[in-house]
Amino acid sequence: MMFLSPTRGSVALEEMVKILHDFVQEDQEASYKLVIGTDSHTTRRSTTLVTAVIIHRIGKGARFFYRKRSSRPLFDLRTRIYRETELSLELVELLNRSGMSDLTSQWPLEIHIDIGQQGETKVLIQEICGWVTSIGYEARIKPMSFGASSVADRFAE
């Protein structure tokens, strides 16, 4: 599985995990937050789904990677939001199995969801956030869901 980084280019999952660990090792006194968020863009032909992995050194910068996939068009908003959330949660589990469990247990892990109080997605807040929190992760929605609504969104076109 490959991820893209604006600074490192294409990297394998294992290399991304190492880079994230190295970033934490650079400043062990700092506080960190791990963020995973997915956003999508649908055209008549396909839906592009982008999942971002961000490690935020609070007050001192961040590193991020993203993975892009295409699927058949997902026109239904509920289906698309559920698929985005599913991809974020799947990536957390994959990262935990790939050597990130020490970081995910040590620092807050937030799942950023591209829904909010404004617009059509507000009816999904309770069920999607309930799903994420029932698994044990913090759910963030707009305007606090920058992992999905800014980082992933930037590469979803």
What structural domains and CATH numbers belong to the chain? 2-155 (3.30.420)
Mean pLDDT rounded to a whole number for the chain: 95
pLDDT recorded at residue 121 = 95
> CA separation (Å) from 39 to 7, 29, 100, 142, 155?
21, 32, 23, 12, 9
Reported pTM = 0.95
**Per-residue pLDDT at 157 exceeds 90:** no
Question: What number is the average pLDDT over the span 40-61?
Answer: 97
The 8-class DSSP code of residue 136 comes to T
pLDDT in tens, 77-127: 999 999 999 999 999 999 999 989 888 888 889 999 999 999 999 999 999
Token reading at 45: 């032909």
Is 110 in contact with 33 (CB distance < 8 Å)? yes
pLDDT recorded at residue 108 = 87
Helix (H) or strand (E) holding 13: helix 13-26
Residue with tokens 């006194």: 29
> CA separation (Å) from 44 to 32, 75, 87?
40, 9, 22
- Closest to 114 in 3D by CA, of 3, 40, 4: 40
